[in-house]
């Protein structure tokens, strides 16, 4: 029998277990996608619907069949047993978020993205009030040269959402990575500054930034504090509310 006919004969639907609950999945889905479709929320930062997976932040870590993996890149398999909300998994996620918080310069009380920032919202949802790690206080550049857009690298978590969205949603390739390790940073596709690029405030590269790193100017307080996305409901609540009736 040829490989093609073996694949053709494999059923496309399968079942996995997430925290003891049976969940229907489709061959080719990632664990994160299957969980999402079943109303089970898995934290994520670099994953964004419609963008190629990056697998860089590791916030979406789960234990699948006894091994830790990134749920945004790990495909489902029949009978897979996934741990999503065990204390071990939650503790790993807390450590990752705490490291992200000290690796940049995050001052939530002064940040206009407060209440809409996914990093801040994840920290609240995971019960983080302070990081156990020492702050690095790196020196990072702010580029406010563009009339309508600014980039504050102090808040950048290197998730690459802007890189992929500028390339794949906006067709512009404005943002790239440069440097390695602790020197890795976001740069723009001009020899000078943001003002010399084709970026525009309507670009989806701005919209997908999970933190307050790439922002449109003059919109900082369009929604008052207290009425913002994660002031109203915790991150992940939308997915959990959409859980199919039969699987509650
Ligand atoms: Fe999976 Fe970032 S969301 S590694």
Name the residue ranges covered by the structural domains of the chain. Answer: 3-84, 93-217
CA distance 31 to 217: 37
Q: Is 169 left (phi over 0), alpha (psi -120 to 50) or beta?
A: alpha
Which CATH number does 3-84 carry?
Answer: 3.10.20.740
Coil vs helix vs strand at 219:
coil
> In 3D, which of 18, 15, 37 has the Cα closest to residue 27?
15
What's the rounded mean pLDDT across residues 217-244? Answer: 91
Residues in Cβ contact with 137 at an 8 Å cutoff, skipping those fewer than 6 apart: 105
Give pLDDT, residue 242: 80
Instruction: Say how many residues make up the chain.
Output: 248
Put simply, whether the predicted model's pTM sits higher than 0.95 gets the answer no
CA of 32 to the centre of ligand 1 (A): 9
Burial class (CB in 10 A: 0-12, 13-18, 19+), 121: buried
- In order, the DSSP letters of 48-93 are -TTSPP---S-TTEEEETTEEEETTTPBP-TT-EEESSSHHHHHHH
Q: Is 199 in the pocket of ligand 1 (CB under 6 A)?
A: no
| CATH fold for the domain made of 93-217 | Alpha-Beta Plaits (3.30.70)
Q: Is 55 in the pocket of ligand 1 (CB under 6 A)?
A: yes
> In 3D, which of 102, 74, 78 has the Cα closest to residue 27?
78
pLDDT band at 182 (very low <50, low <70, confident <90, very high): confident
pLDDT band at 46 (very low <50, low <70, confident <90, very high): very high
Task: Point out the ligand 1 atom lying closest to the alpha carbon of residue 73.
Answer: 1
What's the rounded mean pLDDT across residues 190-216? Answer: 95
Q: Is 70 in the pocket of ligand 1 (CB under 6 A)?
A: yes
Give pLDDT, residue 1: 47
């Amino acid at each position: 029998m040829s490989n093609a006919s073996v694949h053709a004969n494999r059923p496309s639907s399968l079942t996995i277990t997430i925290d003891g609950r049976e969940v229907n999945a489709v061959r080719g889905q990632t664990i994160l996608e299957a969980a999402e479709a079943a109303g089970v929320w898995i934290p994520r930062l670099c994953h964004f619907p419609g963008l190629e997976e990056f697998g860089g932040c590791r916030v979406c870590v789960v234990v699948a069949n006894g091994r830790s993996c990134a749920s945004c890149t790990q495909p489902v398999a029949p009978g897979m047993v996934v741990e999503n909300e065990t204390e071990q998994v939650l503790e790993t996620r807390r450590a990752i978020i705490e490291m992200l918080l000290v690796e940049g310069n995050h001052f939530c009380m002064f940040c206009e993205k407060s209440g809409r920032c996914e990093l801040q919202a994840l920290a609240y949802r995971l019960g983080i009030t302070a990081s156990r790690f020492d702050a690095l206080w790196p020196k990072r550049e702010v580029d406010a040269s563009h009339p309508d857009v600014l980039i504050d690298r102090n808040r950048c978590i290197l998730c690459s959402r802007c890189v992929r969205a500028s390339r794949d949603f906006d067709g512009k390739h404005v943002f790239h990575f440069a440097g390695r390790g602790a020197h890795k940073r976001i740069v723009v596709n001009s020899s000078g500054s943001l003002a010399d690029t084709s970026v525009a405030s309507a670009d989806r590269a701005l919209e997908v930034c999970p933190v307050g790193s790439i922002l449109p100017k003059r919109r900082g307080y369009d929604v008052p504090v207290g009425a913002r996305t994660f002031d109203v409901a915790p991150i992940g609540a939308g997915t959990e509310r959409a859980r199919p009736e039969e699987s509650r």
